[in-house]
Chain A
């Protein structure tokens, strides 16, 4: 089996994988990073979203082989030194989740948006999150959380 070497949540990892292994399978089954969720496995829902080299991707629609040499960050790697990432904190404060299934993907996608556009409008937040589906919240508090996080980080 071919081997891949990458950084996951700042930790160096080398592993042998079957070429058909999806990145999400590698993260969940080989590394036990089960915060990365599989909602659909058909590239629609965004629950599996992770950062690969700083951009958000659907890890169910990428081969683990394609992450060879890359830096991957999952929801488990966002908090630093025991302190939640500002986007996690904003979701917590604004009740941006109910069952929490979509939340890891929502948080990563939203963090990617603020990296590119630190002060998005409400419309831009809604449009950006098109690739993340939530069956519980109706999105309002998610959008509130992202806008609040943007205001906080712009201060």
Chain B
């Protein structure tokens, strides 16, 4: 790992100023994606700005019909939160199956969405639930936030402060995990609020995407069998040693049905 300067930020303003003031600064949250990247020297920041102890960034609360989760709230905290379990149990279950116990104890929701790994679990939840990403300077709709493979709408010195989730009537996530890493080979989140049904897929493509045909069928009849005969094209899907694009396309329908059954 290359050398860097280390700062511990005490507030959001402090963190943003420290990254702005550095020649190549980066925020450090749980480090569960960033430290592996630094070890491989795939990034060489001049400065790391630790945000993990900024109090205003941690915790879960309910505000009207929204669930607010601070950026440095760990996956383990989301999974164990009574508020999350009560209002969006599908989200608590998703967090409980990210990676392994040690990763969940350090990794954070803000780090996961900012990293935008195509196989990460949270992006499916953010898009299916119509979440908003609050940063230090603006609010970004989840669908506009994830722009590509490891790419987001964030500026280099922009800090994710919280994720706001509208509370759905019901939702669930089903993932077919890589046996080695537990990342999603294909993960599908479905949510339903009245006639608004959303289906978001992670792990299968370059970035999270929705499946309008499935959403239409489920809006008419919210049952797994409503998806019989609906499949997606393998054309733009990922293909690697673990799963071909055709297999991932097949998994999308299977996981979507499982998610509907679980919702």
* Per-residue interface assignment for chain A, residues 55 to 86, with 1 indicating a CB less than 8 Å from any chain B CB and 0 otherwise: 11110011101101000000000000000000
Interface residues of B in 90-116 (CB under 8 A from A): 99-103, 105-106
Q: Does A96 contact B (CB under 8 A)?
A: no
| B39 adjacent to A41 (CB under 8 Å) | yes
Interface size on B, residues (CB 8 A): 28
Task: Describe B's contact surface by its main secondary structure.
Answer: mixed
Q: Is A103 an interface residue (CB 8 A)?
A: no
Identify the A interface with B (CB < 8 A). Answer: 2, 18-20, 22, 41-44, 46, 49, 55-58, 61-63, 65-66, 68, 109, 112-113, 128, 130-132
Q: Contact between A56 and B50 (Cβ–Cβ < 8 Å)?
A: no
A131, B75: Cα distance in complex, Å: 15
Could you tell me if B36 and A42 are in contact, using CB atoms closer than 8 angstroms?
Answer: yes
**Chain B residues in the interface with A (C-beta under 8 A):** 1-6, 8, 28, 31-32, 35-36, 38-39, 48, 50, 52, 76, 99-103, 105-106, 180-182
Please state if B2 and A20 are interface contacts (CB–CB under 8 Å).
yes
The binding surface of chain A is classed by DSSP as mixed
User: What would be 11 A-B contacts, judged by CB atoms less than 8 Å apart?
Assistant: A18-B3, A19-B4, A20-B4, A43-B103, A58-B102, A62-B106, A65-B50, A68-B8, A109-B101, A113-B101, A130-B182
Task: State A19–B6 Cα separation when bound (angstroms).
Answer: 6
**A131 close to B101 (CB less than 8 A):** yes
**Considering only CB atoms, which chain A residue lies closest to B34 in the complex?**
A61
**B35 with A65: CB separation less than 8 A:** no
